[in-house]
Amino acid sequence: MSLAPLLCARQVAVGLAGRVFCRDLDLRLMPGESLAVLGRNGVGKSTLLAVLAGLRPPLAGEVLLAGRTYAASGARASALLRGWLPQGRSEAFSSTVLETALIGRHPHLARWAWESANDAAIARQALAAVGMADLAQRDVQTLSGGERQRLAIATVLTQAPQIYLLDEPLAHLDLNHQIAVL
């Protein structure tokens, strides 16, 4: 029995502002596989990841997540399968580290539902995995750049998707945290 690819790109073209970064991309990423996209600044890595995450449409071709297009799956089902860590993010509102990590559980909740004790336990476990368990009650607006990046990673871990699309996950991290994240 053959497993289906978790992420599949068929003849995908990616571009932005009249520039095409990638043409005719065929990609099959199976469960358990890892892929790194390397390149210089400004060559379209983030744009490619956004297309693979279903956040931007490709110029041509199609992207399938677990055999279905993002449009066919819908936002919630896609978020249960795909975790996305953007290159940069900021917290506009004051909240605790734990409350922010719990955002990762939102795809698992019914409309108007609150996070359960189990959701909080999953978030605390993710915070511990990135060395932030002792900061759970701290205000996110007081965190350093590296702490914010570790919290962003913990939030995606809390989501517990089947595939992680991470754009520069080691940014702002000191060497010991880079190694731990890898």
Q: Tens digit of pLDDT for each residue in 51-66? A: 999 999 999 999 999 9
Given a cut of 70, the residues of the chain with pLDDT beneath it are 1-2
Q: What is the pTM of this model?
A: 0.91
User: How high is the pLDDT of residue 4?
Assistant: 83
78 part of a folded domain: no
User: How high is the pLDDT of residue 34?
Assistant: 93
User: How high is the pLDDT of residue 2?
Assistant: 60
Residue range of the domain that includes 4:
1-73
113 and 176 share one domain = yes
124 and 149 share one domain = yes
User: How high is the pLDDT of residue 3?
Assistant: 79
Number of domains in the chain: 2
Q: What is the CATH number of the domain that holds 147?
A: 3.40.50.300
91 and 178 share one domain = yes
DSSP state of 141: G
For residue 14, give the H/E element and its range. strand 7-16
29 and 92 share one domain = no
* Final residue before a domain boundary, out of 73, 99, 115: 73
134 and 94 share one domain = yes
3 part of a folded domain: yes
92 φ/ψ angles, rounded to the nearest 5 degrees: -75, -25
Where does the chain show beta strands of DSSP type E? 7-16, 19-29, 60-65, 68-69, 82-85, 163-166
Rounded to an integer, what distance in angstroms lies between the CA atom of residue 112 and that of residue 18?
A: 41
* Final residue before a domain boundary, out of 73, 97, 120: 73
